[in-house]
Amino acid sequence: MILFMAGTSDARELAVLVKEAGYQLVTTVVTDSAAKSLQDIQIPVNVGRLSLHEMVEFAKELKVTTIVDATHPFAEEASTNAMACAKQLEVPYIRFEREMRSYIDNPSVLFVKDYEQAALEAKKRKGTVMLTTGSKTLATFTKHLLGDPDIRLIARMLPRLDNMEKCQELGVEQKNIVAIQGPFSKELNMALFRQFEVDIMVTKESGKVGSVDEKLEAALELGLFTIVIDRPKLVYGAMFQTFNGILHELDRLEHKN
């Protein structure tokens, strides 16, 4: 049995291929929408964020023999727990990591190491800042940017109740919330940037599948300054950037056993 950690569109595609290859798997995701996309194709799914202890107990119950981690490139805690779980249970851990986009050598694009640095760089430049980094780290930006009379903070995130509650709790006004679900075309990004008269766009290096290109192209065309947060620096061990790489590794492990 494979414990397959999913939650993104490309993870769903990979889960389908793993199932079609004849492997038994149970997926785990954080959101109901991600769960529904897997349930619709008859793939078993567990919904909810798992602590390391919960993951270990869940994997033991299922008699998991392999863990495939296809979580988002920025799901650092989930990946760390998955590696620790595999180590505790002495089962193989395989990481599917999205291909990174090419770095842009442009004075209007700044790559930073983390959310804190991104917030401080935005604070230095002032103007209207649009976050496209989700709700999880919103507090890092509100701490530095809210209350500055020369900064307007726009939070773009999924239209979920918990996200709206977080915005309210952190003091982000309703008029400064863009609650919308992607994917976003370059044209839609440009329309939103124009509508809110954005000066600075903050995004993550989520990879080509993460629609970073569309955001960057829109921002560059409009002359916006863009802050890109680099991926967490995790050492995954067995890591592959293609679906075939994952399938070949599963096949190798099966024949090894």
> 4 phi and psi, to 5 degrees?
-110, 115
What CATH number is attached to the domain comprising 252? 3.40.50.720
Residue 112's pLDDT is 93
Q: How far apart are CA 93 and CA 78, in angstroms?
A: 13
Same domain, 78 and 50: yes
Q: How far apart are CA 223 and CA 219, in angstroms?
A: 6
Residue 163's pLDDT is 93
Q: Which residues pair with 179 in a beta bridge?
A: 157
- Per the CB < 8 A criterion, the answer to whether 74 and 204 are in contact is yes
Total number of domains in the chain: 2
Same domain, 191 and 161: yes
Residue 44's pLDDT is 85
104 is a domain residue: no
Same domain, 180 and 195: yes
10-residue mean pLDDT profile of the chain (257 residues): values are: 86 90 88 77 84 92 93 87 94 87 75 94 96 91 94 94 94 94 87 96 76 84 93 84 91 77
> 225 phi and psi, to 5 degrees?
-85, 135
Same domain, 205 and 182: yes
Same domain, 139 and 225: yes
51 is a domain residue: yes
For residue 144, which amino acid is it?
Answer: H
Residue 72's pLDDT is 84
Same domain, 123 and 75: no
Same domain, 206 and 116: yes
65 is a domain residue: yes
Same domain, 89 and 137: no
Same domain, 37 and 19: yes
Same domain, 155 and 173: yes
Q: How far apart are CA 113 and CA 116, in angstroms?
A: 8
Residues 111-128 as b/e (b if ≥16 CB within 10 A, e otherwise) read: ebeebebbbebbbeeeeb
Residue 47's pLDDT is 85
pTM: 0.75
Cα angle vertex 173, ends 74, 180, to 5°? 50
- Per the CB < 8 A criterion, the answer to whether 211 and 186 are in contact is no
Quick one: CA dihedral 100, 103, 104, 107, positive or negative?
A: positive
Residue 208's pLDDT is 62
Domain region containing 172: 109-229
Same domain, 83 and 128: no
Same domain, 138 and 152: yes
Q: Return the axis-axis angle of helices 138-145 and 115-125, rounded to nearest 10°.
A: 30
For residue 179, which amino acid is it?
Answer: A
